[in-house]
Structure 1
Amino acid sequence: MSREDQLLTELHAMLDGRAFLQGSGLVARLAKRTGWHELDVKQALGRLARSGTVTGITVQGDVYKRVGVTAAAPAKPVPVSLTQWETAMQRAGLSTSDVGALAACHDRIADFCDTDMEALAAGLLALRRAAPQEVGTPKFVLSARYLLGSSKLLGQLPAAAMSTFGLDLKAHPDAPPYVITAGPPEPEAVVLVENPHAFDAAVAAGAASRVAFVVTFGYGLSRSSEDFGNQLLASVAYGDGLIALVREGRPPSPAALLEHPRVYFWGDLDREGLRIYGGLRHRIPQLRLSALYRPMITAFHAGASHPYAKATCKDKQAASQIAPDDGRDLIELCGLRAVDQEYVGTEDIRNLCAHALI
């Protein structure tokens, strides 16, 4: 292969389907990729420019604007796994359109044998036929029933491919939608709690004698301790399908609790807590922030706050300027520092749990 051909191969790889490359630093990048001296790169670029194969480069090899390649990119070799997968799908009786829809799955099952690929294709076809009768069945149960007895396989296949194939994975929860509840049969208010430790503190404070509390149930030892709020947000979408595990008292069903006229959210005073609140508010229009935020606000102004850092497990929380009307002031307040809801003490929980922040 000539140096010009080698350089063209590198340029096509760098373009990766785009029309142009930024000229700044291009010679240095090509030198690093090829192992050549920069002068050798410029000479080869100059020859390509003289032949009209590249644009944006002078005949001396100097880059003066965005660089394009006029020569067609070489055809990419077809992965062996794609050929095997397409053949397996055809043997399983999938239509041409279905084969196209599921083609992207090939790299996830590249280490499957031909027999397993064909069984997977047949299983996906059977699952699609049965989907109307399986609405609400957890995804891992469906996977084990239809896909080679593996509970994890369905979750490893590309969601976009599943959707194009006609499988609506949103109709199937990742896990049973359990929530833990506590409270009386006719609560004065309902408090959705972000973290289980704060829920237990509310129960220990005796607050569940007049107010109902709801928190999500963590699944398995691998569940992140920072993920309970997102579980709560996902769980609310199940509405009547929520399964209650009653911690104390005789509270109404989760669906009835979410329809209560006084529903409040109590989470961490941080970016993520307010993001979760905004998501819940979309699904529960009457939801408002709990007065249990008041002690956290007071603590914040007194200097009892922490940074968004690795040691506080908040280094990945993204800044946000969007919040429901009663949370806008808090967005600004917790922009740089935060206070966790576990800060709130027993007496404050008892006194404030039945009230809104504003």
Structure 2
Amino acid sequence: MEFGDDYISYDEYLTSCKETKEALKLPKKEFCDFEFSPYKNNFLQIFTFYEEALQSLVEFGISPAYLYLSPYFSINARARIHENKYIVNVNIGILKWIVEEFYLNEKLKNNSQFVKLKSLSINRLFGSAAAMFTIYHEIGHLVQNSKFLESNLEEIPKKVKQFAIERHILEIDADLFSSLCISEHLLYYAHTIYGKEVSTKKLELMIVLFTIPFIIYLLSFEGNKQDIYFEEKTHPHPAIRLLAMITSIVTQCNLFLISHNRTPLNQKGCFVQSVLEAEKLQDVFFEDNRVTWFKLRTNFYQTKIQQYLVKILELKIGNASMAVPKWHTMHNSINNKK
């Protein structure tokens, strides 16, 4: 299951909307009609991947699962459970942002940084990675099946009257679940591009290329432009989330490298390199220097960031609602059958 040129027709999309509308008893206004959008085919491509990703993971006990696009242009997505139905709802604003910032971004396409990657559409890779992050993160929340799903778990970080560290634990766990799923795609891309010659250096490049869109995506939220914070809001600061995800992705890639007698990657090196490469591209995406600011503040607070992430990961241990242990259990079961 990868992003490709095969995607459902608009009539098939409308049929999906009708079935979801009837199953969830939602008003028609909650479903996005983009028939006359210039991005129609891009939206259908992303929606098709989202739907396939969701249905491919129902084995985690999230059935019946429903996906729909809302007509709102804010960059937001949410996961919830209603009447024992597992629901992912994504604003069309996220898809529009992904298409404009990645798929159709001419500045990115013509960037000399990626001239050497002639066999790879950097626009498509960035767009695919950003889309993957969104859907797998929300599916991670469904797999957790926590008490918060009754009232929606949304992506936009919000200020809260009373901080609950459980929310940060759930968000990091959903990020890690997303990174585990994305790692499989990353390795697929690496094999597609390099064949059997997937070296440590080439895999590091793939990690950087997949991570840059995460940085751009997370820093695009208004609430994420401020200084590093810890026990605040519903979501951890992007620096903490990014460190968690890169650590997870590097761990998965190192399993591959070690199994093929190749030198493992350095997690900190991958993190630093990803931020540096994203900084080179900040003029492509932003009118300010927020990636530079992010880099400087991350460097300044690196010890506290690591300590807070360790605290979150330790609090995750033994929590039955976490998605990551369920992912490992499922994959261990699959591997044992081979």
| TM-score tier after normalising by the smaller chain length | under 0.3
Task: Pick the structure with greater CA Rg.
Answer: 1
| RCO comparison, higher one (Cα < 8 Å, 6+) | 2
Higher helix share: 2
**TM-score (norm. length: structure 2):** 0.23
If each structure's strand is expressed as a fraction of its own residues, which one has the higher value? 1
TM-score by length of structure 1 reads 0.22
